[in-house]
Amino acid sequence: MKEPLTALPDGLVQKLRKETFVLLSTVDQDSGGPANNAISWVYAVDPATIRFAVDARSRINGNLDGNPHCSVTFFADGTVYTAYGKARRVAEALENVPFRLACYDIAIESVRDTMFYGSRITTEPEYEKKYDKRAADKLDRQVYDAMRNLQ
């Protein structure tokens, strides 16, 4: 196994500055076990920080309030990466977004290549939004602009 990195290399920063399918893992507030969610509103602020937005009603908020340890798993360069760290809520609600989204920054502690030995991802996961394309594109622009503009 390769040694973990302490920050995202530039290629991964760029990957996480575009809409990307990721798996967010938190600690479940009730069971204390793992909780996984697929999310796409993710943005690499810099090599040491991953920002994400989630519906303010999501269980993710309670999970992170109880335990800030989390990880983000994503696909890039033919492999699977997982960034581990602690999340901190940076906004209760994003400005100029039509519904309430909480926003978090993950302070990255390590980044690992988590693909099993001797294999390569040949096709990254793809998804489509099932609601009005124009509305989805507009909402995505609003969310990403708000995340980028947070101080």
Residue 110: burial class (beta carbons within 10 Å; 0-12, 13-18, 19+): middle
3-class DSSP state of 145: helix
CA 61 to CA 85: how far, in whole Å? 16
Q: What's the pLDDT score for residue 97?
A: 95
Tell me the pairing of strands 49-55 and 69-76: unpaired
Q: Are 146 and 94 in contact (CB under 8 A)?
A: yes
Three-state DSSP class for 147?
helix
Confidence (pLDDT) at 122: 95
pTM summary value: 0.94
SS3 29: coil
Which among 61, 47, 59 is positioned nearest to 6, based on CA atoms? Answer: 47
| Tens-place pLDDT, residues 34-67 | 999 999 999 999 999 999 999 999 999 999 999 9
Average pLDDT over residues 113-140: 93
The percentage of residues in the chain with a pLDDT greater than 70, rounded to a whole number, is: 99
Tell me what pLDDT residue 16 has. Answer: 97
Q: Decide if pLDDT at 1 tops 60.
A: no
Task: Give the position of tokens 């340890």.
Answer: 69
pLDDT band for 3, please (50, 70, 90 cuts): confident
